[in-house]
Amino acid sequence: MDLSDQLQSKRLPALKRQVNSLSNALLGRADLQAKPVSKLKIVLKVLSKLDVTLGKIKFAVACINPGLDPVDVRHDREFKNVKQLICCRLALTTYVVTGLVCELLRTYRRFIDESGHVFDGIPEKRTESLTMRDTCSDAIDKALNLINKSELNLIQDAWKSDIDSIDDSLEKFLLFLHLQPPLSEEESRLVGREVGDQSLSTTTICVMAIIKLSRLLLAKLVKLSKDKENISMLSDLSSREFEIFAKMTTTFSESIEKLVCALCGDFIDDHVQDVLIIQKSLSQILSAPKIILDMVEYIFVPVVQPADQPSSKLYYKTQFYYWNQVHQSITRRFTQALGFTTS
């Protein structure tokens, strides 16, 4: 049994049991409240086991994750569930777990120092202890779930996270618009609009369209990736290939976020900085989709390719051609309206 399997089947489940056992000893057993010595013995026994388990988890993570950046690992295709892209994510998740457990132990110690072993009788401390215990359990479940995830699941999770980021950007932009005061008569004349006309400007509509179209691209990718009858993801990607692909869509969503932040004036009244960020973000928003779609074509392949069926290249062109045309047109129009050049 390899170390990642041990983490899944033994170490992390044991850690969850021991965290719950410690909580029960300190908070859940009414029969121990009048027996501090018996309670202390049980707590020390659980802590001893917990210490051993944490040590084994630390050893396993150190062995399976040598600390390499997945983007630098080109030749781990045959490693399957111990590819660096998996090991790196598992290590980061496990560090969160052990950090939360250590914080829980520090909290227990602080409460005992302040109130003795019967601190569970204080509602605020009991509630905080139970909340932290549940947080630890949830984090352990998340780590166990990560071990079971396929590379396809990981990329889908990344896309869904990017979609959430774009949703947040749209919400931020709409709130910014809502908080803007109506145009004065002088402002209306300066922008060539009738006094009292508070309809959205063309540039504002362009920004909203860019954000929504960017979200649509990622939503289409998620939908495509779920079409298991017709499309499958390559299983022999290296960690480098996977990481570059995942980072490309994240960079795309981050460009949307930076564009919105600059338009909303989040950069401390630095107009020059705002302009530079807007220009760079628009450039990335224009160029990223082609790279993303080229990588999708490489990574997602038809399950069966009959001789009389169109090539996968034509399939993807059909799927995304109209989206790409509209996205490029609106983004270029907005870019030019701001006085930036487009290649």
Q: Are residues 60 and 119 in the same domain?
A: yes
Q: Are residues 127 and 207 in the same domain?
A: no
Q: Are residues 288 and 274 in the same domain?
A: yes
Q: Can you give the pTM of this predicted structure?
A: 0.80
The last residue of one of the domains, among 149, 179, 201, is 149
CA atoms within 13 A on the CB side of 79: 18
The pLDDT of residue 67 is: 76
Classified as helix, coil or strand, 301 is strand
Reference 300, options 309, 290, 292, 308; nearest CA is 292
Q: Are residues 297 and 219 in the same domain?
A: yes
Decide which of 315 and 50 is more confident. Answer: 50
Residues 107-153 pLDDT 10s: 999 988 888 877 878 889 989 999 999 999 999 999 999 888 888 99
- The percent of residues above 70 in pLDDT, for the chain, comes to 85
Question: What residues does 300 pair with on adjacent strands?
Answer: 233
Q: Number of folded domains in the chain?
A: 2
Domain extent, residue 41, equals: 3-149
The pLDDT of residue 197 is: 46
> Comparing 66-75, 124-133, 141-150, 266-275, which segment has the lowest mean pLDDT?
266-275
Both tokens assigned to 327: 């996205």
Q: Does residue 43 carry a pLDDT above 80?
A: yes
Q: Which residue has the tokens 């600390």?
A: 67
pLDDT band at 78 (very low <50, low <70, confident <90, very high): low
Residue 217 lies in a domain: yes
| Mean pLDDT in residue range 63-69 | 81
Give, in order, the Cα–Cα distances in Å from 62 to each of 18, 88, 98, 287. Answer: 22, 10, 13, 39
Both tokens assigned to 5: 């399997």
Q: Are residues 141 and 184 in the same domain?
A: no
| CA atoms of 214 and 287, how far apart (whole Å) | 12
Both tokens assigned to 218: 């990622």
209 and 330 Cβ atoms separated by less than 8 Å: yes
| CA atoms of 208 and 218, how far apart (whole Å) | 16
The pLDDT of residue 191 is: 47
| CA atoms of 33 and 121, how far apart (whole Å) | 10
Q: Are residues 301 and 278 in the same domain?
A: yes
Q: Are residues 144 and 67 in the same domain?
A: yes
Q: Are residues 176 and 136 in the same domain?
A: no
The last residue of one of the domains, among 149, 182, 209, is 149
Q: In what helix (H) or strand (E) does residue 300 lie, and over which residues does it extend?
A: strand 300-302
Q: Are residues 143 and 156 in the same domain?
A: no
The pLDDT of residue 315 is: 64
pLDDT band at 189 (very low <50, low <70, confident <90, very high): low
The last residue of one of the domains, among 131, 149, 167, is 149
Residues 190-207 pLDDT 10s: 444 554 445 567 888 899
pLDDT band at 186 (very low <50, low <70, confident <90, very high): low
Q: Are residues 100 and 164 in the same domain?
A: no
